[in-house]
Amino acid sequence: MLKNWWPYAIVAIILVAILIAKFVFWPLLFLAAILAILLCFLFFEKALMLFAFTLPLEKTLSIDIGGFTFRFSHFLIGALAVAWLVKSLLNKKLKIFWNQSLVFLILYLVVAAISLRDVVNLNRGWEVFIFTTFAIFSFWFLFQLFREQPKRIIFFLKTLFISAIAVGIFGLLQISGDLLNLPIWLTGIGEGYTKGVLGFPRVRASFFEPLYFGSFIILILPLVYMQINSVKKLISQKWLKILLLLLLINLILTFARSAYLAFAVEVLIVAIFSIKFIFQKKALRFLSAFTLIFVLFLFVFLNFPKIFPHKVQAALKHTVETTDWSSFERLNSGGLALDLFRENPIKGIGLGQF
């Protein structure tokens, strides 16, 4: 029955959008939402994979509306949730799965809501609260889908890996384009991250900032590492190694010190949980060689920095120094946060007020 009516429904919605909206944004957005829900209802599994693919496309697929930044992935997971609810009710198979971690997340939301009683900027507080609630809901919704059909997580991660490969390649092309003096509109690198600012470009790929890209890499690296050491591969071993190399190169090229620190902590945690693997002969040889190269590099850089090209010197200096304006701003922000905590150790200052 669906095959008889859904093509006409899609055409009708598109025609209504063109005739009624007349390029007025909100009606057009509303009709686009209806169309998205319908498509998600009809092609749910494909829409879920599309959501996985668009997750890293933060800046590329986003739009600013009324002071808010809406991403395509936000729009899509909302449409998926509505389509899932309608489909579950129609099939009479609505079953809610519970995750124990939700207890702590819901408790956090309760405390966050209470903290908004006496805030200075109530609008900002509610904006942050709504977005946080949406993020927690998205986490629960994905958990719900994976519990319903565990095979979904396999296809989800596979699609995410493919998207990460594409984003990693784009990152290298982006930074190469800036070094070749290609225009910003073509590279998408952003005015604040070109080589004209610090003397070297900083890759951000499809994200808003290099740090955000670095954070994404930090999140996905453990999954790639687990897959490389897994018997059952989601993608081939060759492509997993290519993905790992792409992610590590892009992580370095973000020149995001926070991402570097997070990576160091991540490596330490992985090493602790892989202690048996570390003491294998093959792993020991690799770690010894890596440690030797790293120590030699530090020795040469600290004692003979001028042997490096100018751009390399500038990049390394930016990574290790703490006297630039960015470091001062973060240190001042940290000091201010500590002062506010001392003044309000129990009550705090409210969600979204710092």
One pLDDT digit (tens) per residue for the chain, 354 residues? 445 555 555 555 555 555 555 555 566 667 777 888 888 888 899 889 989 998 998 887 777 766 667 788 888 898 899 999 988 888 888 888 887 888 898 999 998 888 888 778 888 888 889 889 998 999 999 999 999 898 999 999 999 999 999 999 999 999 989 888 888 888 888 888 888 777 778 889 889 889 899 999 999 988 888 888 777 888 888 888 899 889 988 998 888 888 888 888 888 887 777 766 666 666 566 666 666 776 676 666 556 666 666 666 666 666 666 666 666 777 788 788 888 888 887 777 888 877
**Class of residue 47 by CB neighbours under 10 A (exposed 0-12, middle 13-18, buried 19+):** buried
Kindly state the tokens that stand for 271.
């090493």
Check residue 20 and report its DSSP letter: I
- CA–CA distance, 284 with 252 (Å, rounded to integer): 24
Residues in the chain: 354
- CA–CA distance, 200 with 197 (Å, rounded to integer): 7
Helix (H) / strand (E) element for 70: namely strand 68-71
Say what the pLDDT of residue 122 is: 84
The four Cα atoms 263, 267, 268, 272 give a dihedral, to 10 degrees, of 150
- CA–CA distance, 196 with 115 (Å, rounded to integer): 43
- CA–CA distance, 161 with 49 (Å, rounded to integer): 11
Say what the pLDDT of residue 2 is: 47
Say what the pLDDT of residue 25 is: 56
Check residue 21 and report its DSSP letter: I
Cα diameter, the chain: 76
- CA–CA distance, 284 with 281 (Å, rounded to integer): 5
Q: Could you give the C-alpha distances from 299 to 249, 296, 306, 320, 321, in angstroms and in order?
A: 22, 5, 13, 14, 16
Say what the pLDDT of residue 155 is: 92
* Helix ranges, 69-150 (H): 72-91, 101-114, 122-148
Angle ∠(19,22,28) on CA atoms, nearest 5: 90
**Class of residue 186 by CB neighbours under 10 A (exposed 0-12, middle 13-18, buried 19+):** exposed
Say what the pLDDT of residue 225 is: 84
User: Is the CB of residue 350 less than 8 Å from the CB of residue 119?
Assistant: yes
- Cα end-to-end span (Å), the chain: 54
Phi-psi region of 344 (alpha: psi -120 to 50; beta: other; left: phi over 0): beta
Name, in order, each residue with C-beta under 8 angstroms of 30's C-beta and a sequence gap of 6 or more.
Answer: none
